[in-house]
Structure 1
């Protein structure tokens, strides 16, 4: 896509997740820090119940159903400076591997921490749930009128 990018900045998304990310705030954040790349991050709840176990006794110490922990994950919404093309090598390049790892090592990747709605659509179950939200007009990602 490099030949189609005319501006210094461009945005990329995987397209398999829905969020109510404020694009203006994301872009402002990227411009303010001056690095080459920004990834939008979220703290999704665990898909499973989390169990802390005393390994010696096999006694459950703590049980939490679908809790949020303090880990951040990529929501798949990026802002890039066009210089990021220097980090991409050919059509077989995997963005999450060498390019993002190198940007990270060089201190050029920043995290825009999104605290609003995010929902990945990786399975048929998630597809069904998101469509039910849409059909019931309970779609938090619909931020336009």
Structure 2
């Protein structure tokens, strides 16, 4: 999370709000008011779990214009300022940062028609996906779709926006990205940072 804070500062962001719940005291003691990073850090404490989007309902009087929302366990070389600028240019209510993922299938994949007649056979195909990086750019109008003090995850918020005919865009980042959701991911992040620190935009000493 500290790397994210330093990346945001390096890209010209001056105000950050951290949504905290469990272990909030430790996080607040570590980051304090953000002065040691040269920016302002405030905190939004959730007394109950509100999901990845529900916490924004507590900030309706603070958020304006366009802003970034991201998970705190992301390690990426994404240029946050470029991403936000892309979002503004599209005029959409939301933009999702996306990363390409490849899945190797170890078997031959068979295609049948409705009569169970073979119409295709692909030996050990590679399937490509675009996956969410856990980084989003929102326009303040999105707050109309987020109730206060109610649980809401971002996938459900996206579905709500689409059902209402709102414009949602994707921004494809082909560089480094890791979601540090498991102990193995944390180990990998510590190994990778020695190789990709230049892409992160902060030095190893700073991180």
Cα distance change, pair 34–61 in 1 and its aligned pair in 2 (3 A): closer
Asked if the contact 2:66/2:88 (under 8 Å) is kept, the reply is no
TM-score after normalising by structure 2: 0.57
Residue 171 of structure 2 corresponds to residue 112 of structure 1:
yes
Q: State the alpha-carbon separation in 2 of the partners of residues 123 and 132 from structure 1.
A: 15
2:140 aligns with one of 76, 82, 106: 82
- Listed as ranges, the gaps of 5+ residues in structure 1 are none
Asked if the contact 1:37/1:79 (under 8 Å) is kept, the reply is yes
CA drift of 1:62 comes to 2.0
Asked if the contact 1:88/1:95 (under 8 Å) is kept, the reply is no
* Bigger RCO (CA 8 Å, 6+ sep): 1
- Counterpart residue number, 2:124: 63
Cα distance change, pair 50–19 in 1 and its aligned pair in 2 (3 A): farther
Asked if the contact 1:41/1:72 (under 8 Å) is kept, the reply is yes
Aligned positions, number: 135
- Listed as ranges, the gaps of 5+ residues in structure 2 are 1-58
1:30 aligns with one of 81, 87, 112: 87
Residue 99 of structure 2 corresponds to residue 42 of structure 1:
yes
Give the superposed CA RMSD. Answer: 2.4
SS in 2 for 1:77: strand
Q: Based on CA coordinates, which of the two structures has the bigger radius of gyration?
A: 2
Q: State the alpha-carbon separation in 2 of the partners of residues 35 and 115 from structure 1.
A: 22
Q: State the alpha-carbon separation in 2 of the partners of residues 113 and 81 from structure 1.
A: 19
1:51 aligns with one of 107, 110, 117: 107
